[in-house]
């Protein structure tokens, strides 16, 4: 499965993060846009939600597991959290995802979960894992 890809992403990004100044992490191009810190915080929130999906779907199919990304970022107030804390949280959450994913039995990858806010739409665990990695890479490009 894709756990090795995720491990590589984490290691590469941690090396890249060292070269980003605190000013760059905190800068906001407008009040309604996320800073790099808030984007990374959003990726922590995404990791938390997806850990739940990856675990729960193995024993309970079609559970609706969603979250309001803007509310989560606002509620956690990542803008005032030390950048190093957000980086560490992101690192350890993603390493935990690697641990969870590498332990999913192949036959469980076809189990399903609903991750939509309105109309029910069912996705396989395999799809959700791949989608998580795509989503992660998309947001890391903005950092």
| pLDDT per residue as tens digits for the range 11-41 | 999 999 999 999 999 999 999 999 999 999 9
Q: Which of 26, 53, 58 is nearest to 135 (CA)?
A: 53
State the average pLDDT over residues 1-15: 87
Rg of the chain taking only CA atoms, in angstroms: 16
On the question of pLDDT at 138 being above 90, the answer is: yes
On the question of pLDDT at 90 being above 80, the answer is: yes
The whole-number pLDDT of residue 103 equals 93
The whole-number pLDDT of residue 51 equals 96
pTM higher than 0.85: yes
On the question of pLDDT at 78 being above 90, the answer is: yes
State the average pLDDT over residues 112-116: 91
The whole-number pLDDT of residue 137 equals 95
On the question of pLDDT at 2 being above 70, the answer is: no
The whole-number pLDDT of residue 74 equals 94
Say which residue, 116 or 125, is predicted with more confidence. Answer: 125
On the question of pLDDT at 63 being above 90, the answer is: no
- Non-local (6+) Cβ contacts of 58 within 8 A are 104, 108, 111, 125
What proportion of the chain, given as a percentage, has pLDDT over 90? Answer: 87
User: What is the band of 1 on the pLDDT scale with cuts at 50, 70, 90?
Assistant: low
Asked whether the beta carbons of 104 and 125 are under 8 A apart, the reply is yes
């Amino acid at each position: 499965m894709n756990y090795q890809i995720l491990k590589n992403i984490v290691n590469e990004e941690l090396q890249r993060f060292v070269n980003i100044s605190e000013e760059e992490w905190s800068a906001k191009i407008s009040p309604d846009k996320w800073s790099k810190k808030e984007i990374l915080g959003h990726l922590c929130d995404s990791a938390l939600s997806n850990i739940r999906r990856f675990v729960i779907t193995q024993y309970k199919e079609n559970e609706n597991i969603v979250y309001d990304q803007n509310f989560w970022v606002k509620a956690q107030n990542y803008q005032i959290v030390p950048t190093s804390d957000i980086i560490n949280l992101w690192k350890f959450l993603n390493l935990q995802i690697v641990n969870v994913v590498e332990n999913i039995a192949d036959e469980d990858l076809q189990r399903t979960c609903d991750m939509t806010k309105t109309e029910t739409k069912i996705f396989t665990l395999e799809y959700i894992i791949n989608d998580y990695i795509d989503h992660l890479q998309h947001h890391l490009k903005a950092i």
